[in-house]
Amino acid sequence: MEEQNKGKFQLIKHPSRLKQRKRKGRGVSAGQGHKCGRGQTGQKSRSGGNIHPRFEGGQVPLVMHLPKLDGFRSLKKYKTVVFNLETFADLPEGTDISLSFLLENRLIRKTSGIRVKILGDGELTHPLHFKAHGFSKSAREKILAAGGTCEVVE
């Protein structure tokens, strides 16, 4: 036997692997016998008696007392809708562009809860009259250069 094993590779166990696992429930004198360290009674003493990670001991779980969709409600009261000047370039001269105009032409769905901002992408060749919640610097310059007006609505 020794001759057969003489030239072969010998597996050397790492020192941490030398310690054997505890064999629970093998008699009272074995150290972890009888109840196997699980205690006397209760859910966790039974086999398969694990509690799920969200369980909080009977109090109302965190998941249940947070609002349903977004966690906490958004602190933003308004949604900003932006339009570029190129959107309005084809309109006739002197048109008043306000929230009611945008609503009639189905560019926005509602007027409550939104703010309209005009951005300066595009060119204006004729005067238009804008009423919106905000204007970018370039949009204001282009509108005024074309002879239009910018009115900020609150």
129 belongs to a structural domain: yes
Hey, what's the torsion of the CAs at 126, 127, 128, 130, to 10 degrees?
Answer: 130
Contact 22, 32 (CB under 8 A): yes
Q: Which residues pair with 151 in a beta bridge?
A: 131
Same domain, 144 and 95: yes
Same domain, 87 and 141: yes
Same domain, 67 and 83: no
- d(Cα 62, Cα 55) in Å, to the nearest integer? 9
Quote the pLDDT of residue 31: 83
Quote the pLDDT of residue 10: 67
Residue 134 has pLDDT above 50, yes or no: yes
Same domain, 51 and 98: no
- d(Cα 141, Cα 150) in Å, to the nearest integer? 10
Quote the pLDDT of residue 1: 47
Q: What percent of the chain has pLDDT over 70?
A: 86
Between the two ends of the chain, the Cα-to-Cα distance in Å is 97
Domain end marker among 40, 72, 104: 72
Same domain, 96 and 140: yes
Domain end marker among 33, 54, 72: 72
10 belongs to a structural domain: no
Domain that holds residue 89: 79-152
pLDDT, mean of residues 123-141: 94
**60-105 pLDDT, tens per residue?**
988 888 777 655 566 677 889 999 999 999 999 999 999 999 999 9
Same domain, 90 and 120: yes
3 belongs to a structural domain: no
**33-43 pLDDT, tens per residue?**
888 888 888 88
Quote the pLDDT of residue 118: 96
